Structure 1
């Protein structure tokens, strides 16, 4: 699915959020590896579950054609600096919801990029009759949890000892969801 691009100017940085296009694939392949190496908040370590240019082209094409998927990118000075995805489900019993994920280069944290990705995704979900958005967040990512709660997400559960980080310790994953009011 596609959305109209939006322009933002926050703390002296101008950026655009728009739908991903197949020409973004090479930059996304490189960017994903870099983001994974900058934080332990994501599932992967740097280079794990690598997606090459062709893989991203296929993913972007599928997301563009699928009415329950949304793939967004953030651009600063013609360079992709972050991305988010909402992925829907084919199974009828799960077709009312999408999973949200986001990644932004560390040098661009604090400029509202993740928040604006999520706001755009929420608006898209609400406009397309998606009843639930779900996400997983590492328990130590307190800023993200506060943001998600401000935007209507609630804590639904905890996956105990879900991830082992570089310090050798196990950490919990917080399961969060935002439900659109369902009319009966």
Structure 2
């Protein structure tokens, strides 16, 4: 079973991973907007599919109530610097799996925050009867692909010419999955 809070120290940086709480909603709204503007590795450009504070409150509330959902945040000095979600569904044929997503502020890359969020999500999934975790990753995000493979994820497919980036080029999305038998 996953613990309520875990502290990590990497590169002399101490950070905390914990469950998201409703009072995190405003910070999460601002954080997501900032992160979307820092990288093209995510699906959105800055401001697209914007989720305001109320939207994040609803999302956190929903995730807290459902046994096949997990919403984690990473904090440095009481500031949220990243988050991850595992989202399942209620359909019997696919209730065994969740979709994973993660984002971390660029200034905190290289401190294993994303890896910690992923590892804690895997521990949660394995201890809660979730058999499969899926995710999508941009083909150019080689560090993330290596991380996912090191955690047992396999390439399951490629969505060709799936994303149009700022350089005017279409890029593939790699679909990955980890099955816990």
- Which residue of the partner structure matches residue 7 of structure 1? 7
Structure 2 Cα separation of the partners of residues 4 and 25 of structure 1: 18
Q: In the TM superposition, what are the counterparts of 1:90-169 in structure 2 within 5 Å?
A: 90-169=90-169
Cα distance, 1:3 vs structure 2: 4.5
- Which residue of the partner structure matches residue 62 of structure 1? 62
Checking the alignment, whether the CA contact within 8 Å between 1:84 and 1:117 is kept in structure 2 is yes
**TM norm structure 1:** 0.97
Structure 2 unmatched ranges of 5 or more? none
- Which residue of the partner structure matches residue 75 of structure 2? 75
Cα distance, 1:118 vs structure 2: 0.4
Structure 2 Cα separation of the partners of residues 157 and 128 of structure 1: 26
For the pair 1:174 / 2:174, whether they are aligned, the reply is yes
Which secondary structure state, in structure 2, belongs to the residue aligned with residue 73 of structure 1? strand
Cα distance, 1:148 vs structure 2: 0.2
Report how many aligned residue pairs link the two structures. Answer: 180
Checking the alignment, whether the CA contact within 8 Å between 1:138 and 1:173 is kept in structure 2 is yes
Structure 2 Cα separation of the partners of residues 8 and 138 of structure 1: 27
Structure 2 Cα separation of the partners of residues 6 and 166 of structure 1: 37
Structure 1 unmatched ranges of 5 or more? none
Structure 1 Cα separation of the partners of residues 43 and 94 of structure 2: 23
- Which residue of the partner structure matches residue 87 of structure 1? 87
Cα distance, 1:89 vs structure 2: 1.2
Cα distance, 1:90 vs structure 2: 1.3
Structure 1 residues 3, 65: CA separation in 2 closer, same or farther (over 3 Å shift)? Answer: farther
- Which residue of the partner structure matches residue 29 of structure 2? 29
Structure 1 Cα separation of the partners of residues 119 and 40 of structure 2: 24
**TM norm structure 2:** 0.98
